Structure 1
């Protein structure tokens, strides 16, 4: 494998590793590492530290909140010069993640709180799908050009399938007006200050470019809300969903939605949809030759304290 040096840390050459992963957020306290809580970052960094025998710090494309899922998440870290097989590293990581997940459930099964047969050997709620050695011009967060999320909700008793309850919101309203929701969604497209939909961080901008927001109705009243943007600030996607549901049930109208972007303020009281219905579907990156320039542009637009969907 060609060796791509990141430069020197002391006298030790460094390399950058990219991780593509997915996870079920139901029993995770979000992405960000927190003392005493089980998180995606904490579990993955612990596995990497065990294997590589040095502390590892990950940078992620988008920090997800407690209960939020990811079909395709991306992270990177820098390590001492790596000469092994990336896919063998992936398999070792997944082995540790599966053992950790098993340890989580074993006391509940042995104590009778959870039925035997609940856990199958090798199962995990975090799975690394790919590990790759990449140039240091790649940045999981700042090289990204966009993030795509999907929110699922069930708007009628017929669609409330208990087998899928951990991945959708059972709203207490029937017959949401999908046409009204989509008309209101159009108002939000483009570059705006989304302060009305965000929990701002000190020194961070809430200006975003919303590229796509659409509500689609499936069978039995299940709704799918797809949304994409250059990036998302804290709670933005779930606030967008909460606002659309208000319009769909007739409590608010299109003019209210327009006021949220024309007069951005936290005082509008936009409801925040539950985390369980939200999934990060993917992260978009430009061609490799554009990674460095994209990172430069993104860093200029946002301070380091800012974040994507949290």
Structure 2
């Protein structure tokens, strides 16, 4: 039977979502280990988003085919009993047999948080980029407008060997500012490797006055990673929601 898992995690001490050969310290690996123990047979889970090392999630979704007599509530309780305290299964439910958490996703929402103001927030420091600079928010919003829509985002991808299409649709980039924080929320149909972090680094450079907002069109058309901004630190990024 196919099961859907809704998951949240603090990614600070993990090597990302995706299971890796050289480490067992990944989100996928931790969850698979517990499910395999529960089912007494190897279980593989598919995540909707392959978040990088240090990236967090409030609304990650995964699915797994399992043979178990446990109810959805019992599976959820079992997982949360044995998983580390920085990984939580919010809900387990039966899914359609052909449901795939990544391939069936319609939209994903990511948020990048930037610390503003003079003082650091000691309680939020693991979830913010500690920039503490005055940025031109209006210029950043203007630049974001050029980035919205359907484009080839190859300039905003760190994977030089990617052979698949780099065309994606960014439905919305929303930038909100408070006295202590700048939040940039990205809603799109999909995201390339490091895409949100490179977009954020580029927008920060616009906010610093290093780049002009109107250069975003030429940057997109160049399809060259070297022309985009720096890759913002992982700690400020959270996967908020996956929509189906």
Indicate whether the TM-score tops 0.5.
Answer: yes
Residue 140, structure 1, aligned to residue 101, structure 2? yes
Residue 68, structure 1, aligned to residue 55, structure 2? yes
1:182 aligns with 141
1:171 aligns with 131
TM-score, normalising length: structure 1: 0.76
Specify every segment of 5 or more residues in structure 2 that has no aligned partner in the other structure, as ranges.
none
- Equivalent positions of 1:60-209 (< 5 A) are 60-80=47-67, 82-97=68-83, 101=84, 124-158=85-119, 160-171=120-131, 174-200=133-159, 201-209=161-169
**Distance of aligned partners of 1:240 and 1:269 in 2 relative to their CA distance in 1, 3 Å threshold:** closer
CA offset digits 1:84-128 (Å, max 9, x no partner): 21111111111111xxx3xxxxxxxxxxxxxxxxxxxxxx00000
Q: Does the aligned pair in 2 maintain the 1:58–1:77 contact within 8 Å? A: yes
Give the 3-state SS of the residue equivalent to 1:169 in structure 2. Answer: coil
Q: Does the aligned pair in 2 maintain the 1:177–1:249 contact within 8 Å? A: yes
How many angstroms apart in 2 are the aligned matches of 1:224 and 1:270? 18
Q: Which has the higher helix share?
A: 1
**Distance of aligned partners of 1:269 and 1:240 in 2 relative to their CA distance in 1, 3 Å threshold:** closer
How many angstroms apart in 1 are the aligned matches of 2:19 and 2:70? 27
Q: How well do the aligned residues superpose, as a CA RMSD in angstroms?
A: 1.2
Specify every segment of 5 or more residues in structure 1 that has no aligned partner in the other structure, as ranges.
1-14, 102-123, 286-310
CA offset digits 1:173-221 (Å, max 9, x no partner): x21000000000000011000011012343211110000112111123x
1:228 aligns with 187
Q: Which structure's CA Rg is the greater one?
A: 1
Q: Does the aligned pair in 1 maintain the 2:117–2:179 contact within 8 Å? A: no
- Equivalent positions of 1:43-58 (< 5 A) are 43-58=30-45
Residue 39, structure 1, aligned to residue 33, structure 2? no
How much does 1:78 deviate? Answer: 1.1
Give the 3-state SS of the residue equivalent to 2:199 in structure 1. Answer: helix
